[in-house]
Amino acid sequence: MDMAPSAPSLPTTALPTVNRRRVATAAALASAVEWYDYFVFGIAAALVLGDLYFPAGSSTAGVLASFATFAVGFLARPIGGIVAGHLGDKRGRKPMLVLALTLMGLATTGIGLLPTYDTIGVAAPILLVALRVVQGIAVGAQWGGAMLLATEYAPEGKRGVYGSVVQLGVPIGVVTANTVFLLAGAFTTDSGFAAWGWRVPFLIGLFVLALAWYIHAKVEETPEFREAERQLAEKEKSEQSSPLRTILRDHLGTVLLAGGSFAVNTATFYILITGVLDYTTRELDMKKSAVLTVSLCVSLTQLVLIPAAAALSDRYGRIRIYTIGAIGIAAWAIPLFLLIDTGSLLWLAVATFVASCFLSIMYGPQAALFAELFTPEMRYTGASLGYQIAAVAGGGLAPFLMVLLLEATGTSLAVSGYIIALSVIALISIKVLAGRARSH
């Protein structure tokens, strides 16, 4: 049995189809831009940031320091989720989303302009960490706002599909980030890339952000959307003074279960796009451009797989589809690294493609599932907290832990064991959430 929505959607019968699509497009663009800016850091962390900002010690120590900085962004994400969730539940979704876009644009541009350790010494890694924290706060604030713009204005029976357009921001961000890095590498020498080429993806993010923000502003001018937002804000202000207090007092268990159900997805995803990039290029001597190309192609398939999984969840239930994805990730964890360890580009593509399929099966319905766990007056806060707890527990530490596990054990199967352990936690969390739904 699947989980029934805990609260009905906002009335959307008065909204013309074109306005729904405009809202969904704005949410998808905001998500794609935000994730692009976030992912360029992960790719740069695997390729150059260790040498440029943490030069002391071995190459492994530099990568560990770089990935630790990458993880700091995840530790900051719950802050963005809490603040934006609380204010978004009281003041409206859109202002928080615009704020998140602004913070991300400023932080990403700042990283692109940041002098290296050789230029300003210890101030360079300190500033890098500070800017990464701002990126984390921004993306923590963004997801809930974009997700709710899409799901709360979805037509009856299509909440999963509309929520998936925001989830598509992840593969779009990955594809765009990988493409820009590939182009930067193709048009520069190795020394040129290390000197300035890696900065180009960070600086381009600001222009993409400006485009998405422009479209987002046009959607805000739609009278029907403004009225719906005003009614939502008035309703939430009158019904609840502190969404965060209510979540922590009455629904903390649901938040933790949501996070537990999704940590394996975020961990495996970041292992694939950052950990594997470092592992294959540094340990298996595979070409950077070839590995990035594989990552790009695999991410393109998610543009089809994510909405397909979301559509299936609208028909067959969120929990059923979500569970299939979690089981698949657990079953594929060992074959994943056995194939990667061959050093073959073909088997790398096969391994990461199959893993990506199972990730997409989970990720497609996840936005709608998390939205349905909470009533509208606390939905931004609750869904954001659940998502960001998963990001900290899974994604933020995954590449760092992957390097530690490889160094400590000498085998990639240790990373497979880490993924399997998170899968077990996910399946237990999903089972408890399903049981709670049946009892209501």
CB 137 within 8 A of CB 87: no
Q: How much is the mean pLDDT over the chain?
A: 82
Query: Is residue 429 over pLDDT 80?
Result: yes
Q: Given this model, what pLDDT does residue 7 score? A: 42
What's the token pair of residue 282? 């540094």
Q: What is the pLDDT of residues 344-382, one digit of tens each?
A: 999 999 999 999 999 999 999 998 898 888 877 778 788
pLDDT, mean of residues 260-276: 91
What's the token pair of residue 394? 């899974």
For every residue of 112-142, DSSP letters joined together read: HH---HHHHTTHHHHHHHHHHHHHHHHHHHH
Q: Given this model, what pLDDT does residue 368 score? A: 87
Q: What distance in Å separates the CA atoms of residue 261 and residue 267, rounded to the nearest whole number?
A: 12
Q: What is the pLDDT of residues 48-65, one digit of tens each?
A: 888 888 877 666 777 777
| Alpha-carbon distances of 118 from 93, 349, 356, rounded to whole Å | 43, 37, 39
Confidence band, pLDDT 50/70/90 cuts, at residue 226: low
| Alpha-carbon distances of 45 from 67, 164, 181, 406, rounded to whole Å | 6, 28, 12, 18
| Alpha-carbon distances of 291 from 246, 280, 348, 400, rounded to whole Å | 46, 8, 8, 19
CB 166 within 8 A of CB 105: no
Confidence band, pLDDT 50/70/90 cuts, at residue 131: very high
What's the token pair of residue 130? 């500070």
| Residue with tokens 């890095």, as numbered in its chain | 181
| Alpha-carbon distances of 214 from 49, 106, 124, 217, 302, rounded to whole Å | 32, 16, 33, 5, 26
Q: What is the pLDDT of residues 304-351, one digit of tens each?
A: 999 999 999 999 999 999 999 999 999 999 999 999 999 999 999 999
Q: Given this model, what pLDDT does residue 222 score? A: 38
Task: List b or e across 234-252, with b for residues whose CB sees 16 or more CB atoms inside 10 angstroms.
Answer: eebeeebeebbebbeeebe
If DSSP codes are grouped into helix, strand and coil, which group holds residue 153?
Answer: coil
Confidence band, pLDDT 50/70/90 cuts, at residue 5: very low
Q: What distance in Å separates the CA atoms of residue 437 and residue 430, rounded to the nearest whole number?
A: 11
Q: What is the pLDDT of residues 195-225, one digit of tens each?
A: 888 999 898 877 767 766 766 666 554 344 4
Confidence band, pLDDT 50/70/90 cuts, at residue 241: low
Query: Is residue 240 over pLDDT 70?
Result: no
Q: Among 25-34, 147-156, 272-281, 377-386, which stretch is predicted with the lowest mean pLDDT?
A: 147-156
pLDDT, mean of residues 291-297: 88
Query: Is residue 384 over pLDDT 60?
Result: yes
Q: What is the DSSP letter of 282?
A: I
Q: What distance in Å separates the CA atoms of residue 352 and residue 298, rounded to the nearest whole number?
A: 7
Query: Is residue 299 over pLDDT 70?
Result: yes
Report the percent of the chain where pLDDT is more than 70.
84
Q: What is the pLDDT of residues 139-198, one digit of tens each?
A: 888 777 777 777 776 777 787 888 888 888 888 888 888 888 888 888 888 888 888 889
pTM: 0.77
Gyration radius from the chain CA atoms = 21
Q: What distance in Å separates the CA atoms of residue 219 and residue 226, rounded to the nearest whole number?
A: 9
- The more confident residue out of 32 and 227 is 32
